[in-house]
Amino acid sequence: MTLHVVIIGAGSTGAAVAHDLTLRGYRVTVVERGEVACETTGRNHGLLHSGARYVLNDPPAARECAEDNALMRKLMPDILELNGGLFVALNEEDLSYKEAFLEACAQAGVPAEEIPIKEALRLEPNLNPRILAAVKVQDGVFDPFHFTLAFLATAKHHGAAVHTYTEVVDLVWNGRSVSGVKVRDRRDGREYAIGADLVVNAAGPWAGRIGAMAHVHIAVLPVAGTMVAVGRRWVRRVINRLCPPCDGGIIVPQRRNSVVGTTSWPVENPDYIAIPPEQVEAMLAAGEEFIPGFRSAPLRGISAAARPLLHESSQLVTADPGARGVTRGFSCFNHARDGAPGLFSIIGGKTTTSRLMAEVMGDVINEATGITNPCRTREVPLLPYHAFYV
């Protein structure tokens, strides 16, 4: 008998889970209240992390990024800019991290190679000529909407159904087990139930609201970040600041544009994030530090989204108001132990590692269902995103 799984949320997480589960032989239905990738995923920085960003404060996350970066290059090369990245030291303090950074990269299996400053400036002539060190890494660039669509296109071709503009308003129960979702079609207001053997909560920063429908407490902390795009391709590769994660530490080139980000501040309601003007100013100033003249290019967009970060208490520690210390890792839960068998959640992580996150979720689901079909997402290449529509 084929088991039916409903996945709530079509961000990179839900999309990757749909791909993983269809390949394991489950029947999959994805429900998303808006457009594909319309929330956190859609507004992320588009950086296919090399892992180097996390080597100093979160080595397991760094290793995961490095492994899946290498895989995604093979699985969806046609929608990635693969020009690599540089970590540059802008001052003496940055420089003081260099040895520890290179050492940590080596330990976490993140390829990194220091290059002479002269060489870095030859490769990226617009970079600040006063940089004090440069390290080459294997960053890549994606557009998050198309990244997500590629997963969903492939899942659809393996039988998945994807319902956008369909919001989960409640869970359906069979006795003490979750046995489906009640949804509202936002196009016509119609409400109906979708029965399922299993329900996967991949609602990102809204995962707590889905959990609450089952009286399950989910410790997800929405932490927003702002990004600012300018209309000039100042650099060819991703430029990172050689320091622990900090505000405005990354420039991602993309099409004819450059996107600088990001910040980190907790928000209550991620439905609408009011971007403070001073953050826009701070991002442009950060861009200027990397690239003199950065802000002379025309403004090309301001965005913010909330990371769904895992946090025990959903409360912040005062010592870390920006939540920079909260792990960028992820967790998968089987809520049978919380009194809601049939409900699963997948929270945290990054778009870069969404395939890996989905693999772990698939293993947790297999364990619960007794199905033994192994994960196949490491081998099966993703279809072109246009296939989602045809």
Partner 1 sequence: MRTLNLCILRGGPGRPAAYQTYRITVDEHLNILDAVQKVWATQDPTLLFRHACHHASCGLCGVRVNGRERLMCLTPIAEFPDGATVTLEPLRNFPWVGDLVVDVKPLMERMAAIQAPYVRRDELTAGGEEGTRFEDCIECGLCMSACPVVGSDSAYLGPSPLAMIKRLLEEPRGRDIRSLCLLAGDAHGAWRCHSVMECVEVCPSHVDPSQAIGWLRRYLILRGRRQPAEAQRR
Torsion angles phi and psi, residue 52, rounded to 5: -60, -30
Binding string, residues 257-286; x marks residues near ligand FAD by CB under 6 A:
----xx------------------------
Q: Is there binding between residue 53 and ligand FAD (CB under 6 A)?
A: no
Among 22, 29, 44, 50, binds ligand FAD (CB under 6 A): 44
Written as six digits, the tokens of 382 are 């993703």
Q: Is 10 in the site for ligand FAD (CB under 6 A)?
A: yes
Provide, for the chain, the percentages of residues in helix, strand and coil under a 3-state DSSP scheme, each rounded to the nearest 5.
30, 30, 40
Pick from 67, 114, 143, 167 the residue near ligand FAD by CB under 6 A: 167
In the sheet that holds 191-195, the strands lie side by side as 166-174, 177-185, 191-195
User: Which is nearer to ligand FAD, 23 or 332 (by Cβ)?
Assistant: 332
Segment 67 to 126, residues that bind ligand FAD, using CB under 6 A: none
CB of residue 121 to ligand FAD, shortest distance in Å: 25
Give the residue with the Cβ less far from ligand FAD, 127 or 141: 141
Q: Is 253 in the site for ligand FAD (CB under 6 A)?
A: no
Residues 6+ apart with CB under 8 A from 326: 221, 223, 309, 310, 311, 320
Which residue spans within 116-270 are E strands per DSSP? 133-137, 140-141, 161-163, 166-174, 177-185, 191-195, 198-201, 220-230, 238-241, 250-254, 257-261, 265-266
DSSP conformation class of 236: S
Q: Which is nearer to ligand FAD, 91 or 164 (CB)?
A: 164
19 near ligand FAD (CB under 6 A): no
Q: Number of C-alpha atoms within 13 angstroms, CB side, residue 277?
A: 0
Contact region with ligand FAD (CB under 6 A), list: 18-26, 78-86, 315-323, 349-357: 349-357
User: What is the C-alpha separation between 83 and 258, in angstroms, rounded?
Assistant: 14
Q: Which residue is associated with the tokens 């544009």?
A: 257
DSSP 144-156: HHHHHHHHHHHHH
Select the residue interacting with ligand FAD from 140, 225, 287, 342 (CB under 6 A).
225
Size of site (CB under 6 A) for ligand FAD? 39
CA distance 42 to 164: 15
Q: Among residues 46, 140, 211, 249, which is the contact residue for ligand FAD, using CB under 6 A?
A: 46
Which region among 32-40, 150-158, 314-322, 372-380 touches ligand FAD (by CB under 6 A)? 32-40
Report d(CA 304, CA 314) in Å as an integer: 20
Nearest to 197 by CA among 309, 69, 341: 341
Residues 184-223, mask of contacts with ligand FAD (x by CB under 6 A) = ------------------xxxxx-----------------
By C-beta, is 59 or 292 nearer to ligand FAD? 59
Q: Quick check: 352 binds ligand FAD (CB under 6 A)?
A: yes
Q: Residues in the site for partner 1, rule: CB under 8 A?
A: 34-38, 41-43, 46, 78-83, 122-126, 141, 143-146, 165, 186-189, 227, 229, 233-237, 253-257, 259, 269, 271-272, 274-275, 277, 280, 300-303, 384-390
By beta-carbon distance, which residue lies closest to ligand FAD? 11
41 near ligand FAD, rule: CB under 6 A: yes
Residue 47 near ligand FAD by CB under 6 A: yes
| Whether the Cβ atoms of residue 385 and residue 146 lie closer than 8 Å to each other | yes
Cα 154 to Cα 174: distance, rounded to the nearest angstrom = 31
Residue 138 interacts with ligand FAD (CB under 6 A): yes or no: no
CB of 388 to partner 1, least distance (A): 8
Distance in Å, CB of 320 to partner 1, minimum: 27
Is there a contact between 283 and 263 (Cβ–Cβ < 8 Å)? Answer: yes
69, 138 contact by CB (below 8 A): yes
- 329 binding partner (options partner 1, ligand FAD, none; Cβ < 5 to 8 Å by kind): none
